[in-house]
Chains A and B, each alone.
Chain A
Amino acid sequence: MKLVRCEVNSSHYYDADKYESCPHCRENSLPKAESAGETISLSDLRDSDNAGNETVALQDSENSLSKQIASSSASGNVDEIKTMSYYDFGQEQEPVVGWLTAVNTAAKGISFSLKVGKNNIGRSGSGHAVDVDLNKDATVSRGTQATIIYEPKKRQFLLQPANGSTLVYLNDDLLMNYTQINAYDRITVGETELIFIPLCSDKFSWENMDKGE
């Protein structure tokens, strides 16, 4: 015996070895063997003048399907239907597009993943949140000091200065304007030196991976 809960009415339980679906809900009350091939022909039904009784039964099953649809479906705002679902949507892990690796200070050897769009580099705390958090380097002011942008259409990485008070260098040159960056470029923020490694490039993109190319 395989006890399962009814899809339509959660207070119903039935033996799935014996029944296709809930026998308490009228439409499905035929035992397995008999239900096969028992489909009612609608054309016969419609052509028949005295289809009254059958129509009642049909409406029952019809209502039941409508109920089933109503209890299974959610329509509306994406964020709202996610919360209605029994499934845990959580936060989808954003795919990595490149990395920064610290090569000095106490952060030496630590890598930071970069995502599509803007990645703020700086130090968190005092109400500031950053993506690449150099919290081991007290010479970095709190907040964003520079931003790396990954732009997926041309698959390029750009580095631009932010409003922070810490100077940022790209390959030992002071960063004044936004600049395209390439593999193994060195970005210095405060005392921390970071090496940039791209994953997405001419050779690879998640979009093409998803497309199966």
Chain B
Amino acid sequence: MEFESRSFIGSRAEQQDHYNVMQDQKGLFAVLCDGMGGRKNGSLAAQSAVDIFSAAYMRRNTDVDPKFLLTTAERADRYIATGIEDKSGCTVICAYIDDDRKLMWVSVGDSRLYVFRNGRLRQVTKDHNYFYLLNKKLENNEINEKEYKAAGMRGEALISFLGMNGFELADISIRPLALLQGDIVLLTSDGLYKLLGDANIERLLALHQGDLGVCADSVIGRVKASNEPSIDNTSFILIKI
């Protein structure tokens, strides 16, 4: 397994994305948190969550499993809610790949986990934003397309994140996902997928998958070269199996 990570502040005054990757003989542990800009101390919340996940991984006395990942997220949530001044919050996407190429994860918020295989990029986690609720309502015919689109202005607002002191929604792996040699796992903050879109990320990974460093450079290069007047904090981790 090899990994690469890249980060770009974009047009923001502060980088509120934080991440860490740790690799040992047993596996690879990656965590990425995106601090919430609308709240004070978003960067501190994200850094704290990364620290809590990293410390939990280093001090664990059990195997990493979904229970470990989710309870660590709950601990980070409590810490951010009670231990940081003012209301602050962050997302988390944390993934662990063991030496048997089994992938497991936890996600709270709208940072994402993807798996790239045979040229195709697949989103693994769901975004816990207002669209999440609207999609459910649309499926159940509680609202129609028009109402969906009208409400969609606020659709990207998070409804679950670390710092709520009891977050409601999460994504976890209920059983490990078996990765194959050549698969690329992507953990990313929303800055990347909102700017480039899945199709462009997929194309760049497919083009440069032979060299993960080149791959990461091309993705971040594409973000930096964007003509958009406002570019969000962008951070991602690529792991090649």
Name A residues whose Cβ lies closer than 8 Å to a Cβ of B: 7, 20-21, 27-28, 35-43, 45, 58, 61-62, 65-66, 68-69, 71-78, 81-82, 84-89, 92, 152-153, 207, 210-212
Contacts and interface: CB of A to CB of B under 8 A. Distances in A.
Interface residues of B, number: 48
A74 B124 CA distance: 10
Interface of B: 48, 51-52, 54-56, 58, 65-67, 70-71, 74-75, 78-79, 82-83, 103, 115, 117-120, 122, 124-126, 167-178, 180-182, 202-203, 206-207, 209
A207 B77 CA distance: 11
Nearest to B160: A78
A81 B54 contact: no
A84 B122 contact: no
Contacts of B78: 207
B117 A61 contact: yes
29 contacts: A7-B175, A27-B118, A36-B181, A39-B118, A40-B119, A42-B120, A42-B202, A42-B206, A43-B207, A45-B119, A58-B118, A61-B118, A62-B122, A65-B117, A66-B122, A68-B178, A71-B175, A72-B175, A73-B172, A77-B168, A81-B170, A81-B174, A85-B67, A85-B172, A86-B175, A87-B67, A211-B79, A212-B51, A212-B55
B122 A69 contact: yes
A75 B126 CA distance: 7
Nearest to B58: A212
A84 B52 contact: no
Contacts of B125: 73, 75
A11 B55 CA distance: 39
Nearest to B113: A73
A88 to B, nearest CB: 7
Contacts of B55: 210-212
Contacts, number: 129
A152 B165 CA distance: 13
Given A73-B124, A85-B172, A89-B70, A62 B118 contact: yes
Residue of B82, B168, B174, B202 ringed by the most chain A CB atoms within 10 A: B174
Nearest to B136: A76
B51 A69 contact: no
B66 A85 contact: yes
B178 A73 contact: no
A211 B167 CA distance: 20
Contacts of A73: 124-125, 171-174, 177
A42 B83 CA distance: 48
A7 B177 contact: yes
A27 B117 CA distance: 11
A210 B50 CA distance: 11
B66 A78 contact: no
A153 to B, nearest CB: 6
Contact of B56 (A28, A152, A210): A210
Given A45-B119, A58-B120, A68 B177 contact: yes
Given A58-B119, A210-B75, A78 B170 contact: yes
Contacts of B48: 211
Residue of B55, B58, B206 ringed by the most chain A CB atoms within 10 A: B206
Contacts of A92: 71, 74
Contact of A87 (B66, B74, B167): B66
B10 to A, nearest CB: 27
Q: 8 tightest CB-CB pairs across the interface, nearest first?
A: A42-B119, A42-B206, A212-B55, A39-B182, A72-B177, A7-B178, A87-B67, A75-B171
Contacts of A210: 52, 55-56, 75, 79
